[in-house]
């Protein structure tokens, strides 16, 4: 059950034509000057959200002890998410624990933007380690410079 694509202009010309495509799945409305929109039935969305929420709850059983419960080791995490190789071992463990906790919360709401933000933040941290800046940022500030004048 894939998504059917329509152009925004054809949708505006015949909005009722979308109904027959919605019976088969979601409809993507492609716009020239904007982001693509997705139309779906509320009942389908609710069922998918419930299924995803149940799957996440089962997969994150005991997320507090994620490494022990899921038998995760450093090489498995780094194999699936290569950017985590730049994190410290404790950082990788913290990332997995935070990820699983956030995944469960996001699945419960059916909104995953916060999970994407969490991954972006951890990738930024890994980037700091890769560039050798993480340790420098942990050192205390030795001197405060002059006050910057207003523009």
Report whether pLDDT(15) > 50. yes
pLDDT at 67: 47
- The first and second tokens of residue 120, run together, are 């972006």
Higher pLDDT, 58 or 22: 22
Residue 36 in tokens:
């693509």
Neighbours of 11 (CB within 10 A): 18
- 40 vs 122, residue with greater confidence: 122
Q: Report the C-alpha gap between 31 and 37 in whole angstroms.
A: 8
Ranking 7-16, 55-64, 95-104, 122-131 by mean pLDDT, the lowest is 55-64
For the whole model, what pTM was predicted? 0.60
Summarised one tens digit per residue, pLDDT across range 132-150 is 888 888 888 888 888 999 9
Distance, CA of 79 to CA of 81 (rounded, Å): 6
CA–CA distance, 57 with 94 (Å, rounded to integer): 19
The answer to whether the CB of 138 falls within 8 A of the CB of 125 is: no
């Amino acid at each position: 059950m894939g998504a059917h694509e329509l152009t925004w202009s054809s949708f505006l010309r015949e909005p009722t034509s979308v109904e027959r495509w919605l019976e088969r799945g979601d409809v993507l409305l492609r716009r020239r000057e904007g982001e693509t929109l997705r139309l779906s039935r509320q009942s389908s969305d609710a069922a998918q959200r419930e299924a995803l929420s149940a799957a996440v709850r089962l997969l994150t059983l005991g997320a507090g002890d994620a490494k022990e419960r899921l038998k995760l080791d450093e090489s498995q995490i780094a194999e699936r998410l290569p950017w985590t190789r730049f994190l410290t071992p404790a950082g990788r463990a913290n990332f997995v624990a935070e990820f699983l906790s956030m995944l469960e919360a996001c699945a419960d709401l059916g909104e995953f933007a916060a999970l994407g933000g969490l991954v972006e933040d951890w990738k930024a941290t890994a980037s700091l380690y890769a560039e050798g800046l993480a340790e420098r940022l942990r050192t205390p500030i030795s001197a405060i410079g002059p006050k910057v004048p207003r523009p």
